[in-house]
Structures are given as C-alpha cells and as structure tokens.
Amino acid sequence: MEKQKNLIFGVIVFTLIFCYIPTALQLNFLAGTWATKLTIYPIIIAMVFTLFYRKSFSLSRDERKMLIRYLVVYFFVMIISLVWGLVDYPYYNVILQGPVNQIKKLPSVYSFLINHDISVTKQGLLFVWMLARPIKALFVDIFWGLSLSVLVYVWYKNDFHNGLRFFLKGVIASVIVVVLYGFLDAMYLSGSELATDILIILNPIVHEIKEEGIWWPPILWNGQLRSLFAEPSYYGIFVAFALPWIWYVLDTSRNMRNRLFLWGILFFLILFLFLTRARTANVLLLAEVVLLFLFTISGFLQSRRFFLSVFLCVLLAFGTSLVLFNYGFGKNSNNMTALSYMQDNIGSLTSVDKRSNRSRYSVMIADLKIGMEHPVLGVGPHLRNAYIPHYLPDKEHLSNETKNWIKNQDEKGILRAGFPELGEYTSRFAETGILGLLVFMLPSFYLIWRIIIFLKIHRKDMPQIRAITVYFLISFLGVLATGIGDSLHVLFSYWLLLGLGFTLLHYITIESDEKK
C-alpha cells in the first residue's frame, strides 16, 4: 500500500507541469476550470485509493471539526454572494438575446428533450443553464483544490519525511523534463528547423493549441522561450514553486554527484527563465532570491556560502542569456544589454503602455472597480465577465487584445467567452467581495502565521526542520505572489503546498512538543 501511495503522490507532483492539456483529454463536466490540468487524473486515482484504504487514512475528531467549520463558513459566504449576485444580475436579457450556441452542449440537450416530448424553449433552457452553471462551478472549484490538500494531509501527517521525499522526487523529475524541453525550445528560437518540426509535433500533445479565432496559445511562440508550457509566464509560475525546493536539496544534500547534477539543472532552469523574457518569471525569481538572502543574513539558514553560490549561478545564467540574445537569437534582440533587459522586463511593470500591461491592468482595474461598487459580497462567483466591459478604464485607448476579448464575448455570448483572471485577488474581490477573499485566504494566513511563530521560537535550534520550513515558506510565498497578476489555478501548486504545509505544521508541532 505504501509503495502505491508514494507512487501516486509522486505522479501528482510531476504532472503539475501539464497545466493546459488538449481538449480531447479534458474532463470538463467533472472538473470544470480544473479540466485543463493533467493532475486531475492522478487525483481521481488518489481518491479511489483513499476510499479503498479508508481505514488507514483519517482525520482526528478535532481535525474534522476544523475542516467542517471552514467549509461551512466558506460555502455560506460563497452561496450568499452567489444568490445575491444572481438576484442583482443586470445582464439576463443580454444572455437570453445572445447566441443559443454560447453553450456548446445546449443544442444537443434541447434536441434530446424535444425528442422525448418534453416541451421547452431554447431561451428557457438557456436561463436554467445560466443559473445552474455558476452553482456547479462554485462546488467543483473548491472540491478539486481542497481535495488535493486534504489528501496530502491525511496521507502524510504521520509520515512527513516520507511524503517530503516523494514530493522532492516529483519536483526534480518535473524540473528535468521542463529543462530538457527548454533545450528544444531554445534550439527553435535559434533558428533550428529540426527543433521547429519537432515542436510542431509535440506542442499539440503537451498543451492545447488556439482554436475558434483565439490566438492563445499558438503552436510556436516567437522570441520567448516557454518550454512545454502554454505561455512564457507559466514557466515563471512553475519556477516560483519548484526553485526553492531545488535550493533545499542542494543546501542539504551531501552527495557530490547529485549536487553537481542539480547545480547544472539549476543553471539551465534559471537560464531558460531569463530566455522567457517574461516579467512574471523575472520578478518572482528576484523576489525569491531576496527572500533567500533575508533568511540567510537573519540566521534562519546557516550557510552564507550557499546563498553566494546561488547568487553567482543566477548572475552566470543571466550573463549567458545576454550572450544568447545577442549572438544566438540576435534577430529578435536588438543588441540586448543587462540594462535594456531589466528595463524591458522589471522596469516595464510600472508603465501602462509597455508590452501587455494595457490589457492586464485594464482588466485588473475593472475588477477593482467592480469590487469597490460591491465591496462586501461582490457580484457573485463566476459572474464578473458581463460586468467587465462597462468598468474598463480609458475605453478609447483599449489594447487590441482587450478589444478582441470584448468582440469575442459579444459574438459568442457571455456564457461562452469572457475575460481571463489576470489576478487571483482582484478577480475574487470583484466576484466575492472582501468577505469572500478573506475566507478564501484564511487557511494561507493561518499557515504562514503558525510557521513564522515556529521560526521565531526555534531560530537557534532544530536546524534541519528549520531549513525545510524556510524553503517551504519561500515556495509558498512565491506561489501566493503569482496570484497578484495571474490565477492561482494555473497550476495545482497552491493547493498541493497548502496540504504539504499543514502536514509540515503537524510535524513541527509534534517535534516542538517533544523538545519541550
């Protein structure tokens, strides 16, 4: 049983990198917005496995009470927000007057009902679907994420080190695959026809390709490395999750062969991150290096030499990326310098008109405006799309991308097309208000608070446990930071770390009590 459990867990961690699988593999009815993640499949296997061996996996009475209380509060707030949002929803007529095929399955359902002598109009069916869809999405979204967190906790709360071992194996395996695919992508960017032909074959297998007039994600991405992800920024989101764990293994391993291998993997992982030219990736890397520096100089991590090694590795990778931009991918780089690279990536974040900022900031500002007008409960979970066009700032100077989102929604209907969640916290604020956002973030706040207390108390002792805790905290804060400009649903990493974090909390609580 243990072997199968550990294997399933390792596969769950490994499959995080396949975050936008082809439509043919998506379990849309069961998984909703999670259907694009390959991780759904091993999670289903894990659920069946847990039910089969349910006597071996259980929560204590106090743990069940805490989980049930949280779920009751969460669903109470979400349902009140949804009910109020549906009552106050001003766009029913827009939806009902829109195209009937804005729901792909509706024509077939309508034909089935008519063939069985059930009298119903297409508009009536559309109205029922419009009400049922956000209710289903509300339950599905929290079910899959929280299920993964609870599974990790019940599996390893009494066996943390074994869970950590297989977690690290999954992380390292996924990093190796990302780096190997990155080599192929780098060859394509340098002009290799062979690499281009291979990517044209492989990319539609590892992630969905644009369809129905939407440009994203393209089969090939010009000028930026993305490895096997749908877009370059997703590479940065994955690295924010995985990088601190590579640091942890390097910092604690004493096997010289493994260390040399991992230093090589780390170098290429960071090199390819710079080649993404993604602002999300660069800012997250900078933030996590700063966190590593702060934890080192404050004494929570013992080796200052290790931080210096990481810093030199980052500098070497950055220097190598500049060489590649100027001599390998020169036609797209225009004599790239360190200063121009930083201005184009990190510096451009403060400019509304640089790169994709106008599109991103427009949607984020619209979300904030919606939330400010509906501050307590928002407009209702999964109901924000219809509101956004009205709240977009500077409508006369919208980006072409934003105009396409509006056009797509007008043509296909509100229920079929909408606006991406360009910020987990702003979109949740718009949909569920400050109350819903706080309830959603409550487990994270509690976990971080307890970990900080542990680190303050054990600043000078328990070095091995302290190292695990610090690197977990860097990874978790990095993943939370991705929610500023993207959705936490891009990967399953948030929910995976939430479960691992509470498992770690259970472990350090026991260890601290025994030390007393």
pLDDT tens column, 422-478: 899 999 999 999 999 999 999 999 999 999 999 998 887 888 999 999 999 999 999
What pLDDT is stored for residue 84 in this prediction? 93
Question: What pLDDT does 328 receive?
Answer: 79
User: How many angstroms separate the CA atoms of 292 and 295, rounded?
Assistant: 5
Tell me the H-state helices in 253-337. Answer: 256-276, 279-297, 304-323
Q: What is the pLDDT of residues 380-403, one digit of tens each?
A: 998 999 999 999 987 667 878 888
| pLDDT band at residue 10 under the 50/70/90 scheme | very high
Q: Return the pLDDT at 71.
A: 95
- State the pLDDT at residue 332: 53
pLDDT tens for 60-84 read 999 999 999 999 999 999 999 999 9
The phi-psi region of residue 221 (left if phi > 0; otherwise alpha if psi is between -120 and 50; otherwise beta) is: beta
Mean pLDDT, the chain, whole residue set: 90
- Tens digits of residue pLDDT in 233-263: 999 999 999 999 999 999 998 889 999 999 9
Q: Where are the domains of the chain?
A: 1-153, 356-420
**Helix/strand/coil for 119:** coil
pLDDT band for 351, please (50, 70, 90 cuts).
low
Q: How far is CA 317 from CA 266, 267, 269, 338, 478, in A?
A: 9, 6, 9, 12, 20
